[in-house]
Amino acid sequence: MKLAYYIKKKDLKDDERVHQPLRVLREKGFDVYDVAASGGISDGTDVLLSFGGDGTFLTAAQLAAAAGIPIVGMNFGRLGFLSENRPEDVVNALVSGEYTIESREMLMVGMDCEKPQRWHPMALNEMTVHRIGAAMLGVDVTVNGTPLPAYWADGLLVSTSSGSTAYSLSVGGPICTPDTRVLIIAPIAPHNLNVRPLVVPEGTAISLVPHSREENVVLTLDNRNYVIPAGTKLDVCVAPLRLRRLRIGESSFIEALRTRLHWGEDLRNGI
């Protein structure tokens, strides 16, 4: 089996915790190479390994989705919702073949202006538009061609179910299990009290037009930022590509909520 690996943080490149699983995999007969050093994913690669946290996973996911190969995360970060596995568990699963492959929806964003540099139109967790200056944004939103009341806020996000435990959660969005086929539309720091996050089916076509007193606004796709002109129309939908992700063991989304986000911690629950 041919494996690529991706490391974003320079200090991890010399970390023995990284070198150890790589040595074991090579000793077991795996062809393992550094995707950054090689300049890209080479033909015949079976799996991409992501060493780091969820931010590293999101960057590596772009490479895996484009190459059409599965990705698995080894957690060296803080939270680890996407990059959830211990290195030794990944090694054991690859050697034994005891894993499954799940697929996750991704967002695709189109725009009616010139594309920014290093433009990549897909996101696993969410896309957002943000204000740049002090003035709030007015965001016109249509859902399958039907206009919603304008949002007045610091910004607006559209999230996948995978992203429901990321930025969407921090702005009051609902928690969705990863297999829920929905998108979440949620304002960021809204300036009116009668707006709430909206959940729509995954096949919904969403259009956003941010208006601002400033000349530009910020567009984000996962951990990537772009500056675009205010008034740009953004078309958001589920991407034709899905991210394939290795799932190891009987990992539980609910258990992850309890152990990583401390969901339900309350003295009355005996926790």
Which one is catalytic: 54, 89, 112, 235? Answer: 54
State the pLDDT confidence band at 194, using cuts at 50, 70 and 90.
Answer: confident
Could you tell me which residue, 267 or 139, shows the higher pLDDT?
A: 139
Check residue 199 and give its pLDDT: 97
Q: Return the DSSP state at 269.
A: G
pLDDT (tens digit per residue) in 25-84:
999 999 999 998 666 899 999 999 999 988 899 999 999 999 999 999 998 866 667 888
54 included as an active-site residue: yes
pLDDT (tens digit per residue) in 222-234:
999 999 999 999 9
Using a 10 angstrom Cβ sphere, with 0-12 exposed, 13-18 middle and 19 or more buried, the burial of residue 32 is middle
State the pLDDT confidence band at 10, using cuts at 50, 70 and 90.
Answer: confident
Residues 6+ apart with CB under 8 A from 141: 147, 148, 150, 151, 156, 185, 206, 207, 208
Query: What would the two tokens of residue 11 be?
Result: 């200090």
Check residue 207 and give its pLDDT: 98
Residues 6+ apart with CB under 8 A from 227: 116, 132, 216, 217, 218, 219
Residue % of the chain over a pLDDT of 90? 70
Chain-centre distance for alpha carbon 124: 4
Check residue 79 and give its pLDDT: 65
Could you count the other beta carbons within 10 Å of the beta carbon of residue 134? 7
Residue % of the chain over a pLDDT of 70? 94
